[in-house]
Amino acid sequence: MANGNTFTISILVENYAGVLSQITRLFSRRGYNIQSIAADTIERPDETRITIIADGDLEAAQQILFQLRKQISVISAKLLNPADAIQRSMVIVKVDGDTKEKRDEIIQISNIFRANIIDISLDCLTVSVTGAPDKIEAFIRLMTPFGILELVRSGIVTIERGKLTIHSED
Amino acid sequence: MKLTGAQIVMECLLEQDVEVVFGYPGGTILNLYDALYDYRDKITHILTAHEQGASHAADGYARATGKVGVCFSTSGPGATNLVTGVATAYMDSSPVVFITCNVASNLIGRDSFQEIDITGVTMPVTKSNYQVRDVTKLADVIREAFAVASSGRPGPVLIDIMKDVTALTADYEFIPKANHAKDSHMARLLQRKTNIIAYPEPDREAIRTVAAWLRASERPMFLVGGGVVSSGAAPSMRRIVELVNAPAAATILGQGVFRYDDPMFTGPIGMHGTKLSNLAFVEADLIIAVGTRFTDRVALNPGKFRDRKKIVHIDIDASEINKNVRVDLGIVGDAGRALEMLIEALGSDFEKKSNWVAPLLPETRKSAYRHESNLLKPDEILRALHERTGDNAIIVTDVGQHQMWTALHFKFSRPRQFITSAGFGTMGFGLGAAMGAKVGCPDVPVIEITGDGCFRMNLNELSTVEYYDIPVITIIFNNGTLGMVRQWQTLLYKSRYSETTLDRGPDFVKTAEAFGVAGYRASDLEGFRAALDAALKSGKAAVIDCIIDMDEKVVPMVPGGKHLNDFLID
Ligand SMILES: Cc1ncc(C[n+]2csc(CCOP(=O)(O)OP(=O)(O)O)c2C)c(N)n1
């Protein structure tokens, strides 16, 4: 559902060549920028679950939803209300750690965030954090002063709270 | 039974009762054409001059008959030559199945000779498209393609088959079309995609609300679009308009839903709508729009469009509701079904409205615009044409002034009688589409109305109408200019005629003759009548070049962005 100027949409599609471009085209055609996209197969190898967060108001969101449902590849599509949904993404940060003080401090912050130190050497650390988008933002902010050498971030995945699923009526 | 992919294509066309295919061969589609050779008694192939002509012909065939049109083309340039035709069919929701063949799978992705990612190219302009890489899936894909193209909101579908797939063999079992829905693949699809290949039942509660609004309304009005034609809902539409006694305007694609002399029919609406349609729309307090999508040529100013009125929108495509104009109530479903339910909900005690548009009539008769000329007048030609053909003929147009004059002045009387590229505005559509319409409806006269600009674009198909003896009569409104663009230049660009004057050849009479088609030139009404009579009598294709004045205008005109009653000329 639209939250300020973005909306979150969860889509289940049949997985064949070209599906992802078919889906994303519907956003670009109307000039809605995609901020985050996550896609992977789930229970069945021939189905892909996609979560997209895009710019646009509720009207835009609903128009996209109907356009999505018109695609043969789309099994279900649903607008999610961020308040009723759990959102997670992951970031992996490579930070400069050329002194022991720096490294200690990075490890300390990482522990507070329940981050994983994946790789460590005498001059840098690679740390991954999973969590809600604001937690990820906070972690990146705290790492910035040490000098971020590289950063990769997954798209956000979302699931509804309670018993509701992508298949339940909205 | 083991068949090659190419044979499976032929069999699947027979399952669909396809009798005619328009197309053009080439390297990658050779296997299909080779198989077609064995099926030539059952499937007629029309070899056009250009793939674009074939694409418009399949589209014209579909629009005239209501059946699915079929078009073949080879890969690469053959496939890209279809694109304008695919987009034209898409914008006007016309059911056409395009079949292209691509390079063999071992050559895909290598920029091989005549390779094109045609499913990628046509993705935005097809209802759905498919690339077939597995011969065992071919029959199911074709069955699905026809179902998708023809049901729900119709539209074009493209199937791209790799060349090797057309040579490989697979088991094939003939499944009559009536049993397709029970077949496992289609059954699954039908269950999953009810929203696009089935007809959702209109919401009963919403229908009751519309009935209540209609009862309370003082100035209700119907707005009728192409969806009423494609759903076969014209009889229901006429009935409800009579029952309510409300005015009804039609979009370009909605022409023919009402007879021209229906007392409640106000004519076309929008940029070149009649004064009555446009003025009535502004006055109405309730609009019931059916099978139409409020394009920018109708909802010229989406903000003002809904001023002081309620709008109900009935459409088969849920994504059309609230897309261009915010409405008060949207009903998703088949137009005919929804209208029947509405008639029932109005009940037998419904009190007819008084004819509230009658007081507007004096206003509509005032016309400030005058253009004097001694040459043939567009409306005269169209009147004379109707005098000769009566309600019988199918009228196909190209795009420009002649198209709008035809919509405004020709007396249409039935659905599918007017075939035109409304949504995409494709110059060069006319001759191909007329050819397809005539092939689909051989027993009625088919008249193509075109402009000198449009005709020059795709007149190559004269060779096709001559060769196959498809007696289409082409009437050129020859004004020596790209008239519609000139009209804008006159009215909005200080008469700066940049690149619109067509002071050049060819001589259309001689051109027609070179193709073996009779050519006539008419500069007055007598001449036109004589030429038309001769052409109709000959039973052959003909071209009638009518000389009209360069500064004739389409009147009225409301420029984009203005409200419907804000006429630039009237
Ligand atoms: C393929 C294509 N190119 C350009 C246009 C833009 N256009 C719209 S109407 C028109 C003029 C058509 O001229 P003509 O065929 O002489 O018809 P007239 O308006 O004079 O009746 C043009 C150039 C178009 N609609 N389609």
pLDDT in tens, B43-53: 999 999 999 99
Q: B204-351 sits in which CATH class?
A: alpha beta
pLDDT at A82 over 90: no
Domain B378-547, CATH: 3.40.50.970
pLDDT band of residue A3 (cuts 50, 70, 90) is low
Q: At what angle do helices B378-389 and B525-538 cross, to 10 degrees?
A: 40
* CA–CA gap between residue A29 and residue A8 (Å, rounded): 18
Query: Which of B33, B109, B17, B36 has its CA nearest to residue B78?
Result: B33
Please indicate whether, in this complex, the C-beta atoms of A63 and B192 are within 8 angstroms of each other.
no
The number of angstroms, rounded, from the C-alpha of B378 to the middle of its chain's C-alpha atoms is: 22
Q: Closest-CA residue in chain A for B192?
A: A75
**Which residue's alpha carbon is at the smallest distance from atom 8 of ligand 1?**
B400
DSSP string, B378-441: HHHHHHHHHHHHTT--EEEE-SSHHHHHHHHHS---STTSEE---SS--TT-HHHHHHHHHHH-
Asked if residues A70 and B317 have their Cβ atoms less than 8 Å apart, the reply is: yes
Predicted confidence at residue B216, as pLDDT, reads: 97
A30 part of contact set with chain B, CB < 8 Å: no
Over range B103-113, report the average pLDDT. 96
ipTM above 0.95, yes or no: no
* CA–CA gap between residue B47 and residue B35 (Å, rounded): 16
Whether the full predicted model's pTM is greater than 0.90, yes or no, is: yes
Query: Which of B51, B176, B40, B54 has its CA nearest to residue B435?
Result: B54
User: What percentage of chain B carries pLDDT values higher than 70?
Assistant: 100
Mutate to test the pocket of ligand 1, among B402, B481, B484 (most ligand atoms within 8 A of CB): B484
Predicted confidence at residue A102, as pLDDT, reads: 93
Question: What proportions of chain A, in percent to the nearest 5, are helix, strand and coil?
Answer: 30, 40, 25
Over range B475-487, report the average pLDDT. 98
Ligand 1, closest atom to CA B402? Answer: 21
Mutate to test the pocket of ligand 1, among B427, B477, B497 (most ligand atoms within 8 A of CB): B427
Task: With beta carbons under 8 A apart, name residues in chain B contacting A21.
Answer: 120, 123
Please indicate whether, in this complex, the C-beta atoms of A62 and B195 are within 8 angstroms of each other.
no
User: What percentage of chain B carries pLDDT values higher than 90?
Assistant: 92
Predicted confidence at residue B199, as pLDDT, reads: 83
Q: Select from A25, A63, A75 the Cβ nearest to the Cβ of B192.
A: A75
Predicted confidence at residue A2, as pLDDT, reads: 52
pLDDT at B486 over 60: yes
Domain B2-196, CATH: 3.40.50.970
DSSP 3-state assignment of B183? coil
Predicted confidence at residue B563, as pLDDT, reads: 94
Tell me the C-alpha to C-alpha distance, in Å, between residue B539 and each of B195, B529, B535: 45, 16, 7
Please indicate whether, in this complex, the C-beta atoms of A72 and B128 are within 8 angstroms of each other.
yes
Q: Is the beta carbon of B85 within 6 A of some atom in ligand 1?
A: no
* Number of C-beta neighbours around residue A18 at 10 A: 16
Distance B381 CA to ligand 1 centre (A): 20
Q: What is the pLDDT of residues A83-111, one digit of tens each?
A: 899 999 999 999 999 999 999 999 999 99
pLDDT at B29 over 90: yes
Q: What is the pLDDT of residues B176-205, one digit of tens each?
A: 999 998 888 888 888 777 777 778 899 999
Residues of chain B with CATH 3.40.50.970: 2-196, 378-547
Instruction: Tell me the two tokens of residue B347.
Output: 């009940």
Domains delineated in chain A: 2-80 (3.30.70.260), 86-157 (3.30.70.1150)
Instruction: Tell me the two tokens of residue B187.
Output: 């059954």
Asked if residues B53 and B101 have their Cβ atoms less than 8 Å apart, the reply is: no
- The whole-angstrom distance between B58's CA and the closest CA on chain A is 23
Predicted confidence at residue B495, as pLDDT, reads: 97
Predicted confidence at residue B469, as pLDDT, reads: 98
Any idea what the Cα angle at residue A53 is, between residues A51 and A55, rounded to 5°?
Answer: 155
Does residue B445 have a cis bond before it (omega within 30 degrees)?
no
Task: With beta carbons under 8 A apart, name residues in chain B contacting A18.
Answer: 119-120, 123, 131
Distance B454 CA to ligand 1 centre (A): 6
* CA–CA gap between residue B160 and residue B36 (Å, rounded): 17
Over range B216-233, report the average pLDDT. 98
pLDDT band of residue A43 (cuts 50, 70, 90) is confident
Task: With beta carbons under 8 A apart, name residues in chain B contacting A66.
Answer: 318-319, 321
Distance B553 CA to ligand 1 centre (A): 14
pLDDT at B518 over 70: yes
Over range A137-147, report the average pLDDT. 96
Predicted confidence at residue B463, as pLDDT, reads: 98
Q: Is the beta carbon of B519 within 6 A of some atom in ligand 1?
A: no
Q: What is the pLDDT of residues B114-127, one digit of tens each?
A: 999 999 999 999 99
A31 part of contact set with chain B, CB < 8 Å: no
Phi, psi of B128 (to 5 degrees): -160, 155
Q: What is the pLDDT of residues B492-505, one digit of tens each?
A: 999 999 999 999 99
Q: What is the pLDDT of residues B324-371, one digit of tens each?
A: 999 999 999 999 999 999 999 999 999 999 999 999 998 888 887 888
Tell me the C-alpha to C-alpha distance, in Å, between residue B275 and each of B153, B485, B567: 30, 22, 9
pLDDT at A150 over 60: yes
Catalytic residues of B: 51, 113-114, 163, 484
Over range A74-84, report the average pLDDT. 91
Predicted confidence at residue B224, as pLDDT, reads: 98
Over range B539-557, report the average pLDDT. 97
Asked if residues B186 and B351 have their Cβ atoms less than 8 Å apart, the reply is: no
Predicted confidence at residue B185, as pLDDT, reads: 85
Residues of chain B with CATH 3.40.50.1220: 204-351
Task: With beta carbons under 8 A apart, name residues in chain A contacting B195.
Answer: 69-70
Which is more confident, A106 or A18?
A106
Please indicate whether, in this complex, the C-beta atoms of B128 and A63 are within 8 angstroms of each other.
no
